[in-house]
């Protein structure tokens, strides 16, 4: 049975065109039967499109194969480690500096271990050079910059800022013995009009007060009354 005789005319016509295009063409005797296929423009474009698509798909597949699956938790750890900058560790001080003066063998500034107490500061300064019972809390923990006075009226000033604050407070709230009037002196504990006038009279007779202790030279002001007002007055 002849296959071509059974085809419709239009199909048979198209078939003959395609067969003519794919007939081998002998190019040269020298190249020993090198064949080229005769293709029309539409067929050439179709082949190029197919070839280009194949190249693109191969490239996509190759790129995808390079990436390995990474767990989400690992991605988060990487992001956090890159975003967070580790702060430099701040070294904590291991010692403090205190100033001790007064009735000690070697007054001065000493470096003590962190958490040192008052009695250790006294020992560092060589101990007391006068036998005297101290009113300080010898077990008190010291801070950096503390100042300790050892004497009849021992005290501990806890910091430079505290000293300045205390001095400022005293300067603004104390009563100056060299310029206070009678009504101001009467605000002192235990000082009435008579004693206040004695304070003024002594000031005028002696050219002013050189120290607060001069108050003891006034008749009627003993140690007890002096201790009550000494923190309230200045010169």
> What are the structural domain ranges in the chain?
4-65, 95-171, 174-234
The stretches of the chain forming alpha helices (DSSP H) are 9-21, 41-66, 72-83, 118-124, 160-173, 182-185, 193-206, 223-229
Q: Which residues contact 68 (CB under 8 A, 6 or more apart)?
A: none
Separation of alpha carbons 74 and 89, rounded Å: 27
pLDDT at residue 18, rounded to an integer: 64
Concatenated DSSP letters of 23-36:
S-EE--TTTTS-EE
pLDDT at residue 36, rounded to an integer: 47
Looking up tokens 């120290």 gives 211
Residue 144 burial (CB count, 10 A): 14
Q: Which of the residues in the chain have pLDDT under 70?
A: 1-8, 11, 14-15, 17-43, 63-92, 159-173
pLDDT at residue 162, rounded to an integer: 44
pLDDT at residue 76, rounded to an integer: 54
The string of pLDDT tens digits covering residues 78-110 is 555 555 545 455 566 789 999 999 899 999 999
Fold (CATH) for 174-234: DNA polymerase; domain 1 (1.10.150)
| Residues 157 and 147 sit within 8 Å (Cβ to Cβ) | yes
Specify the pTM: 0.33
Burial class (CB in 10 A: 0-12, 13-18, 19+), 77: exposed
Separation of alpha carbons 178 and 200, rounded Å: 8
pLDDT at residue 20, rounded to an integer: 65
pLDDT at residue 168, rounded to an integer: 47
């Amino acid at each position: 049975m002849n296959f071509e005789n059974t085809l419709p005319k239009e199909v048979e016509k198209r078939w003959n065109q395609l067969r003519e295009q794919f007939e081998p063409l002998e190019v040269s005797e020298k190249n020993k039967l090198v064949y080229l296929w005769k293709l029309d423009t539409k067929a050439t474009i179709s082949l190029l499109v197919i070839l280009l698509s194949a190249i693109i798909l191969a490239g996509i597949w190759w790129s995808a194969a390079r990436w390995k699956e990474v767990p989400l938790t690992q991605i988060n750890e990487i992001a956090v480690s890159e975003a967070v900058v580790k702060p430099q560790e701040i070294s904590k001080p291991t010692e403090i500096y205190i100033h001790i003066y007064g009735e000690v063998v070697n007054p001065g500034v000493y470096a003590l271990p962190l958490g040192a107490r008052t009695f250790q500061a006294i020992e560092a300064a060589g101990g007391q050079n006068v036998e005297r019972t101290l009113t300080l809390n010898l077990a008190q923990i010291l801070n950096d910059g503390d100042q300790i006075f050892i004497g009849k009226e021992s005290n501990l000033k806890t910091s430079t800022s505290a000293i300045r604050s205390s001095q400022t407070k005293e300067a603004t709230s104390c009563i100056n013995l060299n310029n206070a009037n009678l009504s101001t002196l009467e605000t002192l504990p235990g000082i009435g009009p008579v004693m206040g006038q004695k304070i003024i009279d002594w000031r005028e007779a002696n050219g002013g007060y050189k120290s607060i202790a001069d108050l003891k030279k006034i008749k009627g002001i003993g140690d007890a009354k002096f201790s009550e007002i000494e923190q309230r007055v200045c010169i």
